[in-house]
């Protein structure tokens, strides 16, 4: 049966309004980053279908494809590297604040197609249990990032599980090499109960408080607080862009995660909050750093929920009519 690939046809589903990119405009940068992630989804389907639908997703914005990142087990395409065409010439024409990235490393999310399911789910498990360093995709992505930063300015971008992969690579680049990559994370998974659907801020705080108390208690008993302090502080100067939909149960808890820090301070439980914010029960028991817990972020929240499918979809992030709520969190 032929696959319906309408969503991957740029002329039908892409941001046709974006005819000229202003690289000093945050909305334009977000849209281009999302489109390059969509390009990876299309590249994987192009591998199995005769239609070449992927190229317009990067050519439209003056990029070229320089490398495809393949999974070593099922040969699927989980990522790609894009280079801005004539970057040197362009940079001589505009100020530094208006320059594009020289390279973008983008990662797709989980596919439910039978040929991708096994290795995609294997990555999901690695990410869920903070065991990503044993994933071949993480190793491939990290080596690629280390190589590309030698040549120029690099962005990371990913959607869903791909954003977790980009997050893991970004964290490693900061901790081990002191390199801060501009990072765009679309619908990054946050493994927690979906509490954000509750309207009352007071009720949400009351529900989250026992979890923070338990996490902090286990962390203190296990002496995890002291062990995690330095890595968390070292990461605090790296501020990735997080894009979440408040109705998406997979990522919406990031809004509560950051807000809860302030709530804990307000009720006089700041010390508990500071220990809990850098630990999870799973990470403590496994003695592994919690991947999804980050100290700082630029948070963009989409409050619209046109459909369950769209709340977790990548296409919402290049819409020109988005009304976003912005939050800036810098860990102190």
Instruction: State the CATH class of domain 6-197+231-269+296-329.
Output: alpha beta
165-191 burial by CB neighbour count: b if 16+ within 10 A, else e?
Answer: bbbbbbbbbbeeeeeebbbbbbbbbbb
Given a cut of 60, is residue 173 above it in pLDDT? yes
Q: For the chain, which residues make up each domain, given as ranges? A: 6-197+231-269+296-329
Q: What pTM was estimated for this model as a whole?
A: 0.88
The answer, yes or no, to whether residue 228 has pLDDT greater than 50, is no
* pLDDT given at position 327: 95
| pLDDT (mean) for 205-227 | 54
Distance CA 69, CA 45 (A): 14
For 3-58, strand residue ranges (E) read none
Lowest-confidence segment of 47-56, 155-164, 165-174 by average pLDDT? 47-56
pLDDT at 209: 53
Confidence of residue 224 (pLDDT cuts 50, 70, 90): very low
Give the C-alpha separation, 165 to 229, whole Å: 23
- Band (101; pLDDT cuts 50, 70, 90): very high
pLDDT per residue over 20-48, tens digit each? 999 999 999 999 999 999 999 999 999 88
Minimum mean pLDDT range among 4-8, 206-210, 279-283, 313-317: 206-210
- Tell me the range of 48-52, 99-103, 229-233, 291-295 where mean pLDDT is highest: 99-103
């Amino acid at each position: 049966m032929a696959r319906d690939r309408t969503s991957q046809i740029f002329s039908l589903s892409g941001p046709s309004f974006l005819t000229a990119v202003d690289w000093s405009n945050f909305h334009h940068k977000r849209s281009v980053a999302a489109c390059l992630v969509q390009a990876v989804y299309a590249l994987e389907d192009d591998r199995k279908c005769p239609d070449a639908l992927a190229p317009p997703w990067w050519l439209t914005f003056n990029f070229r494809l320089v490398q495809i990142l393949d999974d070593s087990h099922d040969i699927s395409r989980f990522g790609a590297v894009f280079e801005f065409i004539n970057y040197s010439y362009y940079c001589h024409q505009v100020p530094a604040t208006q320059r594009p990235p020289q390279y973008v490393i983008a990662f797709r999310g989980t596919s439910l197609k039978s040929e991708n399911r096994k290795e995609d789910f294997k990555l999901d498990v690695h990410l869920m249990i903070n065991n990503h360093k044993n994933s071949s995709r993480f190793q491939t992505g990290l080596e690629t990032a280390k190589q590309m930063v030698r040549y120029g300015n690099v962005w990371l971008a990913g959607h869903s599980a791909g954003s977790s992969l980009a997050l893991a690579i970004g964290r490693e680049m900061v901790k081990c090499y002191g390199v801060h990559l501009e990072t765009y994370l679309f619908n990054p998974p946050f493994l927690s109960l979906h509490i954000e659907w509750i309207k009352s801020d007071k009720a949400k705080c009351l529900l989250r408080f026992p979890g923070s108390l338990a996490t902090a208690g286990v962390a203190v008993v296990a002496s995890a607080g002291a062990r995690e302090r330095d890595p968390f502080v070292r990461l605090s100067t790296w501020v990735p862009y997080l894009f979440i939909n408040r109705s998406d149960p997979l990522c919406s808890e990031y809004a509560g995660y950051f807000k809860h820090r302030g709530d804990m301070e307000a009720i006089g439980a700041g010390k508990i909050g500071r220990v809990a914010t850098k630990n999870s029960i799973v990470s403590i028991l496994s003695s592994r750093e919690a991947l999804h817990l980050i100290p700082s972020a630029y948070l963009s929240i989409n409050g619209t929920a046109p459909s369950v499918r769209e709340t977790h979809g990548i296409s919402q992030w290049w819409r020109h009519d988005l009304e976003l709520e912005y939050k800036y969190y810098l860990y102190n």
